[in-house]
Amino acid sequence: MIEHRLIERMINVTRDRLEVMNEQKRIDPIFIEVVVDFLRTYADRCHHGKEENILFRDLAKKQLSDEHKKIMDELVGEHVYARKTVRMLEASKASYVQGQKGALWDVLDILKQLIDFYPMHILKEDRAFFPPSMGYFTGQELDDMLQEFWEFDRKMIHEKYKEAVDNIKPGL
């Protein structure tokens, strides 16, 4: 849940910056790039990645209650929504930089959607899903999962920057 606290901090910073961008009727493309990178790398690849690739995988092997299965499915759908919305933010920012009319309002609207989405998503995980889902595991299973989380984090940073280098095109 420590990851949730950092995501909440980023959402609060984004909320504050959104107010300024609304007042100034312009966006800061560099800030938007930071938001996209944070949400894509930290919130999605790191946090949601551990949920989907480890926690949900292991929960799928358990006999979940109908309620917990429903919530888990909703969370997966919300992760898909978040990915799609971040892609839309990135595309709208690019349109804004290219001077397309209306792109400013698209960027501001998408930021608002993300600011509204993440607190509710986090609340669902923190209160309705994570605490009861831990009851499906033994102490040893939880320890093993925690170890797998650490390994996931350790590998992730290397994957991110290997991909960055691999995507650099030769020449100027």
Which domains are seen in the chain, by residue range? 2-157 (1.20.120)
d(CA 135, CA 137): 5
User: pLDDT digit string (tens) for 85-114?
Assistant: 999 999 999 999 999 989 999 999 999 999
Q: Against a cut of 0.75, is the pTM above it?
A: yes
A 10 A CB-CB count for 34 gives: 15
Single-letter residue type at 53: N
| pLDDT band for position 10 (cuts 50, 70, 90) | very high
User: pLDDT digit string (tens) for 39-95?
Assistant: 999 999 999 999 999 999 999 999 999 999 999 999 999 999 999 999 999 999 999
Q: Which long-range contacts (CB under 8 A, 24 or more apart) does 29-33 make?
A: 29/93, 29/96, 29/97, 32/89, 32/90, 32/93, 32/107, 32/111, 33/93
